[in-house]
Structure 1
């Protein structure tokens, strides 16, 4: 669990690269100040009818500085993208690690698309803010000081007007900021809701079409769109109020500057070139003010993103110990009770599982068979009472990641097959596989049509294939049968298999059970000899 965002952001910043980025940005800012001054001075030379040689000198200097500025800008953009990308990725990785190391019950009710968008969008917003903040706070501060010094040096009156404008500008922002923050937060939430609905429409398109739910889901999309449109209009209204007040203020002070500068030119106390420089510096000061004031409004957006991510950062991680048991010979469940928050107890179990035996776990739908597996594998953290013991060690005393990677193999009801070759999917945990045995099993499970992918290099020739439910289950079965993990947990492993494949699978289980603890969850009677039946919910 993290206590603050500095723990998330600061370690991921590339300090040396950020320092170089700030230095180049400062050089670019100084060059920009000089370019403006040169333009004003050049105008005065033209008006004074200077010699052509002086024109050429100024043009050469002006072009040279522009080239330097452009080079600096290109380098800055490369560095900015690199720093922001690394920072965003580092934060995303940290948040995902926290999610992966906490109880699934902490986030199971959230839509995966919503979680994905929150993490992706919000880490991007936070990364962009902090990188620009570190750079701009230095560059804009230096620039503002230089601009004000030049303005005051050339005209105390104009310098005073600009300072007065900065104070008034700040007042306008303070009046508008609460309304802007409120609408920003609403827009972010509604965008997430709309994106989530679109994701479901695409991900579940087959089920939605088969069950005639298209009208309902398109109605939900329309409703989310209208809500998004409503808050966007509200946001536009908030920004319009702010921008109108700001523009009126700028117009007033620009008019005052024109009048004051024009009067000074008439009195020969200021040149035309100097007035042009000062008017440009006035605009630049506005830009600097915009940045300083937008630190507040930008931070409001970042704050909304931080609040959305905070719920994941404060999650308690699953307790883990240091004990590693290469072979698990016995699992004990002692007075194991579990209930979902606000619901009745699902089960109360005391039993044990030993190596070399097949246990048929049965029970009607909804009694907690899959929940039992999730508890035994630590997916639900410590959200249960009682004890889960492996070789005499409580689950919390085991090195959790090592235990999952080395002691367990699981076949889920809907097996996870990622976009890669069969060999990559079967060798998921990096186990050394006997290729002859692999090919024999693939052939036995009638996966011959996919055999050509078995010999492929693990980093090349990825096949973007859509596997059928039966093919997924067969690949997961081969993966488990070739695994050297001592605990096999099989959740409805034959639901999508033909009868011949079921017989082959159960025959393999019987032949291989000697060195494994096999937990078989199934509604139908297994086509193999089981050693014990564990009834859930009876």
Structure 2
């Protein structure tokens, strides 16, 4: 990553050199034409030509390094800001955490960060140098012809007036465009992720209609913004074009009457063009800032998401976990005065119908979700006083109904988590831990190098159950662990958790009636 102080120094050095060279190049161009007009010595012509082209080549080289530096800085700082937002979301309160639309955030925040940093580095800071350059160029124009100077001076407020008329509307339209575009991306990603469910439902017409409506809203919002943006640029360009024609005709008349040289006319035209373009870009900065303002507001919203403080205490052993919970989302109260205790050396079956909050319950119990009305005590220590991140990392293991991992194969997964390099080594470690491998050996060996996407749901579930048993954390939570297992592997699971409960708390969330036979306690809600 680029160090911020070093970046700022080099950024402004390059920007200063590039801005100065743009003025120098224009001066050399006019001098070169004047030298030709006066039919000077060839050595003088070659000298000015060398200076002119040398300045151009140097400008090109500096612009290359300038763009490389900007790109490095933008990407490294996007990473830092994304990390901040992700950390805020991880540490946010339960309701904020639940209401996050991940695809929307990923799409919108990346674009917003790009907009803000690109605006500052490619427009705002350069605009300061453009303003200085305008003053310098206006001074040079003044020395050549005072009438052209006054004409240019009158054109600047006209452009600013046009910008003032358009800025408020462009802000509203830009924000609407980015909002609808992010929702369109979110809907598309959701359609891809839930492809199987859509195919199984067969309700294509309803899904397509909803997607079409979201697309049309995004399309019309985008075209509305393009219309306003193009209209603004067209008006500014027309004003600038009209002023250039007047200056060119006026300067041509002065050359024709012998008042100024042809090189002076070239300088007048090029400087006036550069001044008008710079003024147009400055008014464009105002216009683009209205779009960036919408991005800044959205980014600030996520950068300022309330973080709930983590406790400072840590625990090494868990004898019991007590809970006293009143909690719900919006108007849906999931638990009211729900109390109980999980003790070591026991298996607990969480039994409830769908939508009753079984998953929410274990998230509260492990500190993933936080709420003042969800009181959890680990060995009589309030979970709010414990660092819940370390608590989950060191003491809890959750096997989800549909396990997910960032690794591609079981081989990668077990290597990254346990430094295990082969299925033979894995089976040996399981045997050493007194975990029966006869029933599961074929699955572990047969799937070892397969991609997870090519492994069946039951095999994937089994792999993550094996991982949890091998990990042997103090609190093990299994979410519908037998939903995809055949009878023999269900029995294997029951036998293994019966052994794993020694010294640990085992919590099984399941609708499978067979699990009751291994449970020491059933928690219903």
Deviation by residue 1:314-351 (Cα, 9 ceiling, x = unmatched):
322132111110111111113x2112212244343211
CA change 1:429–1:378 in 2 (3 A) is farther
Write out aligned runs for 1:217-228 (5 A). Answer: 217-228=207-218
Larger mean CA deviation between 483-492 and 237-246 belongs to 237-246
CA change 1:464–1:357 in 2 (3 A) is closer
User: In 1, distance between residues paired with 2:73 and 2:452?
Assistant: 32
**Shift in Å, 1:513:** 1.0
CA change 1:268–1:445 in 2 (3 A) is farther
In the other structure, the counterpart of 2:391 is 403
User: In 2, distance between residues paired with 1:107 and 1:223?
Assistant: 28
Q: Is the 8 A contact 1:83 1:131 kept in 2?
A: no
Matching of residue 62 in structure 1 with residue 56 in structure 2? no
User: In 2, distance between residues paired with 1:500 and 1:95?
Assistant: 45
In the other structure, the counterpart of 1:378 is 367
> SS at 2:394's partner residue?
helix
User: In 2, distance between residues paired with 1:14 and 1:94?
Assistant: 17
> In the alignment, which of 231, 235, 247 is matched to residue 245 of structure 1?
235
Gaps spanning 5+ residues in structure 1: where?
1-10, 457-461
> SS at 1:178's partner residue?
helix
User: In 2, distance between residues paired with 1:245 and 1:445?
Assistant: 77
Write out aligned runs for 1:126-525 (5 A). Answer: 126-133=116-123, 135-334=125-324, 336-382=325-371, 385-426=373-414, 435-438=426-429, 444=438, 446=440, 448=442, 451=445, 463=451, 465-525=453-513
CA change 1:492–1:371 in 2 (3 A) is same
Gaps spanning 5+ residues in structure 2: where?
none
**Shift in Å, 1:106:** 0.9
Q: Is the 8 A contact 1:21 1:135 kept in 2?
A: no
**Shift in Å, 1:442:** 9.8
Deviation by residue 1:497-528 (Cα, 9 ceiling, x = unmatched):
11111111111111121121111111122065
CA change 1:195–1:346 in 2 (3 A) is same
The alignment's C-alpha RMSD in Å is 2.6
TM-score of the superposition, structure 2-length normalised?
Answer: 0.92
User: In 1, distance between residues paired with 2:146 and 2:429?
Assistant: 85
Deviation by residue 1:172-219 (Cα, 9 ceiling, x = unmatched):
111111222221111111211221222122211222112112222222
In the other structure, the counterpart of 1:5 is none
User: In 1, distance between residues paired with 2:131 and 2:379?
Assistant: 64
In the other structure, the counterpart of 1:6 is none
User: In 2, distance between residues paired with 1:345 and 1:476?
Assistant: 29
> SS at 1:328's partner residue?
coil
**Shift in Å, 1:133:** 4.5
Write out aligned runs for 1:516-535 (5 A). Answer: 516-525=504-513, 526=515, 528-535=517-524
CA change 1:76–1:444 in 2 (3 A) is farther
> SS at 1:140's partner residue?
helix
User: In 2, distance between residues paired with 1:30 and 1:140?
Assistant: 10
**Shift in Å, 1:394:** 0.6
TM-score of the superposition, structure 1-length normalised?
Answer: 0.89
CA change 1:311–1:61 in 2 (3 A) is closer
User: In 1, distance between residues paired with 2:124 and 2:429?
Assistant: 55
Larger mean CA deviation between 79-88 and 311-320 belongs to 311-320
User: In 2, distance between residues paired with 1:213 and 1:468?
Assistant: 26
